[in-house]
């Protein structure tokens, strides 16, 4: 039985969320310790390899030629999938069409550790893993451009007008700076630890993006100034990352948090976790991703400092924390 496999990983945005939607640069880091895997198999060519596989997990309810999705929230025909799976469903349908698999009856299984709606790029990571698995199943060439287009189909369903940053970041192996639809790998010489803390409150990227647009309409001077300020922090932060200046990087994260708060995309829960991280000795901390919920990132000097910061963030309400070491690259 033919099977295809694909994976993608979480990301954090170090600088530039929201401003990137309005053309400013942004810096994102891959979090390869948090991944999503997808497998895809053809259900309707069982005759090729007799008796080789157990029935599909979702096979029971399936009509011939119908595709199915298997996840921890729902397993069954694609057409009956709940709203939560609207984005992966759209990606699967686009891939089936693109790779000439329409009507073949494909089962796509998605497993992963990236929490949903926490600003860590779960929708782009799920989409990326699915695109790779279906391209692998079809034996199709997958250019970067086609990959991004297909992930973009899901991102549009997930949050309206995505900048493309998440699609790039969840596929990148190195930190990137992203501007005007183009991502460049960032050389980085910073040794520090990023602590990611989940506030336990679902982020609402679509709503947060809309509230920034409304801020820009209501504040024709201050709005663009904040966009430019966040963009400048991304440019300068990229230099700090390249030159190995974690203290300066942390100070810029704190500045960015102040601007994001003014734009209305932070929340009391996020502010409390940010303050706790800084109080416990982090160089700086800020929300990451869409905000109004989701995750906070803090920059700590080393593993020991990161443990202290993580404990403080949990005491301030975080329901889970992850640590990600910045090692610096050779370039």
- Enumerate the H helices of the chain as residue ranges: 86-98, 122-138, 144-159, 165-169, 205-218, 222-243, 246-263, 268-279, 303-315
Residues contacting ligand MEV: total by CB under 6 A: 14
* C-alpha distance across the termini of the chain, in Å: 42
17 part of the interface to ligand MEV, by CB under 6 A: yes
Q: Which of residues 76-135 bind ligand MEV (CB under 6 A)?
A: 119
| Torsion angle of the four alpha carbons 45, 51, 56, 60, in this order, in degrees rounded to the nearest 10 | 100
* Out of 66, 98, 166, 269, the residue judged to bind ligand MEV by CB under 6 A: 166
Give the number of other CB atoms < 10 A from CB of residue 5. Answer: 15
Smallest distance, Å, CB 271 to ligand MEV? 18
- Classified as helix, coil or strand, 302 is coil
Q: Which is nearer to ligand MEV, 22 or 41 (CB)?
A: 22
Annotated catalytic, 166?
yes
Taking the least distance from each CB to ligand MEV, the nearer of 90 and 305 is 90
Helical axes 246-263 vs 268-279, angle rounded to 10°: 160
Out of 58, 68, 71, 163, point to the residue binding ligand MEV (CB under 6 A): 163
Query: Of these, 69, 95, 165, 309, which contacts ligand MEV (CB under 6 A)?
Result: 165
Q: Give the shortest CB-319-to-ligand MEV separation in angstroms.
A: 19
Count Cα atoms within 13 angstroms, Cβ side, for 33. Answer: 10
Return the bridge partners of 177, or none.
Answer: 27, 184
- Find the shortest distance in angstroms from Cβ 152 to ligand MEV: 10
Query: Footprint of ligand MEV on residues 209-248 (CB under 6 A)?
Result: 209
Q: What are the φ/ψ torsions at residue 35 (nearest 5 degrees)?
A: -125, 165
Q: Residues 6 or more apart from 28 whose CB is under 8 A from it?
A: 11, 12, 13, 14, 165, 166, 168, 169, 172, 175, 176, 178
* 285-314 binders of ligand MEV (CB under 6 A): 289-290
186-215 positions binding ligand MEV, by CB under 6 A: 205, 209
Question: Counting contacts by CB under 6 A, is residue 266 touching ligand MEV?
Answer: no
Cα separations in angstroms, 298 against 86, 213, 251, 259: 32, 27, 11, 16
Residue 323 half-sphere exposure toward CB, CA atoms < 13 A:
19
Nearer to ligand MEV, 100 or 181 (CB): 181
Q: Is 179 in the site for ligand MEV (CB under 6 A)?
A: no
CA gap 296, 314 in Å, rounded: 11
Give the nearest distance from C-beta 207 to ligand MEV in angstroms.
11
Catalytic residue among 79, 149, 166, 302: 166
Distance CA 164, CA 178 (A): 9
Nearest to ligand MEV of 71, 163 (CB atom): 163
Q: 197 forms bridges with which residues in the sheet?
A: 296, 321
The least distance separating ligand MEV from the CB of residue 109, rounded to whole angstroms, comes to 25
Q: C-beta of 163: minimal distance to ligand MEV in Å?
A: 3
CB closer to ligand MEV out of 68 and 205? 205
**Residues classed as catalytic:** 166
Applying CB under 6 A, the residues found at the interface with ligand MEV are 13, 17-18, 20-21, 119, 162-163, 165-166, 205, 209, 289-290
């Amino acid at each position: 039985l033919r099977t295809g496999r694909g994976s993608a990983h979480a990301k954090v945005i170090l600088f530039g969320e929201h401003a990137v939607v309005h053309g400013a640069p942004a810096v994102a880091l891959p979090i390869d310790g948090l991944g999503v895997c997808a497998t895809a198999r053809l259900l309707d060519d069982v005759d090729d390899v007799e008796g080789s596989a157990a029935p599909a997990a979702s096979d029971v309810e399936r009509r011939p030629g119908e595709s199915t999705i298997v996840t921890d929230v729902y397993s069954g025909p694609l057409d009956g999938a709940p709203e939560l799976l609207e984005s992966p469903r759209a990606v699967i349908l686009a891939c089936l069409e693109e790779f000439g698999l329409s009507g073949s009856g494909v089962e796509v299984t998605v497993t992963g550790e990236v929490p949903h709606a926490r600003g860590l790029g779960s929708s782009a990571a799920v989409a990326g893993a699915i695109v790779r698995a279906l391209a692998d199943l079809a034996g199709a060439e997958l250019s970067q451009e086609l990959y991004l287009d297909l992930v973009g189909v899901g991102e549009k369903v997930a949050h309206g007008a995505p900048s493309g940053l998440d699609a790039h970041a969840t596929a990148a192996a190195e930190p990137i700076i992203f501007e005007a639809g183009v991502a460049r790998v960032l050389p980085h010489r910073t040794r520090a630890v990023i602590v990611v803390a989940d506030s336990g409150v679902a982020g609402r990227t679509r709503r947060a993006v809309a509230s920034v647009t409304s801020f820009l309409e209501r504040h024709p001077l201050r709005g663009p100034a904040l966009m430019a300020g966040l963009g400048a922090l991304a440019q300068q932060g990229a230099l700090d990352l390249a030159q190995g200046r974690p203290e300066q990087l942390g100070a810029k994260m704190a500045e960015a948090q102040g601007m994001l708060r003014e734009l209305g995309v932070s929340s009391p829960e996020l502010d409390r976790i940010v303050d706790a991280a800084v109080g416990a000795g982090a160089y700086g901390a800020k929300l990451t991703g869409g905000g109004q919920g989701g995750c906070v990132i803090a920059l700590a000097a080393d593993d020991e400092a990161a443990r202290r910061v993580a404990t403080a963030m949990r005491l301030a309400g975080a329901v889970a924390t992850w640590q990600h070491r910045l090692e610096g690259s050779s370039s």
